[in-house]
Amino acid sequence: MGNALTAAAAGFGTGLSLIIAIGAQNAFVLRQGIRREAVLPVVAICAASDAVLIACGAGGLGVLVTAWPGALTAVRLVGAAFLLCYGLLAARRAFRASSLSSSGPTVRSGRRAVLACLAMTWLNPHVYLDTVLLLGAVAATHGSLRWEFALGAAFASICWFASLGFGARLLAGFFRRASSWRLLDGLVAATMLLVGTTLALGT
């Protein structure tokens, strides 16, 4: 029991260290949380996707990822194009920022958020490299306890995205000012454009 808890704790720490850095996905979840638009489905998509990829890594599917470099290249280019376009849209919003709306999210904006979240999650090859390969490799070092390690990493993902998505509403007062949205959208734009450019250049 003690060894299982140790493996799960190691998975939690490793998983959290990989996802906590500000990236395209985190910036997106933060923005949705502040706007309170489709927060639950966005958080669920991010956490569930991580759980699937972590399970794939723990199951040894990292070998298949490295065996298909052409597929990773295709995902990288499509993901780069998506992030660059999203970054440009965020930059445009930064110049047209309005204060936080008191109205609830529309069905259309909810669907857009879900589709954008799916694309941002599954079209980023860094997700496969970090989650499937890196976490999979670390999980393998735990031998028969690799699934406990994977469970801990998946739980870290759930905790992080839930905290980021639902905790962001605490900043709602600050984001009632248009200048605050300009700052956030500027950060989102810079993050998306940086990650998109990195993907496009293959670095």
| Gap between the Cα atoms of 114 and 69, Å rounded | 28
The one-digit pLDDT tens for each residue of the chain (203 residues) are 568 888 888 888 887 777 776 677 888 888 888 888 899 999 999 999 999 999 988 887 766 656 666 766 776 777 778 778 878 887 887 777 554 443 344 445 788 889 889 988 888 777 777 788 778 878 877 888 889 999 999 999 999 999 989 998 888 777 777 777 788 778 878 877 887 787 778 75
Long-range contacts of 40-43 (CB under 8 A, 24+ apart): 40/165, 41/110, 41/113, 41/114, 41/117, 42/113, 42/114, 42/117, 42/165, 43/161, 43/162, 43/164, 43/165, 43/166
pTM for this predicted structure: 0.73
Q: Residue 166: what pLDDT?
A: 93
Are 78 and 147 in contact, with CB atoms under 8 Å apart? no
pLDDT tens by residue, 181-195? 788 778 878 877 887
H helical segments located in 68-106: 69-95
Q: Residue 172: what pLDDT?
A: 73
Q: Residue 146: what pLDDT?
A: 86
Interhelix angle for 69-95 vs 178-201, to 10°?
160
Domain definitions of the chain by residue range: 2-201
Q: Residue 52: what pLDDT?
A: 92
| Gap between the Cα atoms of 66 and 165, Å rounded | 32
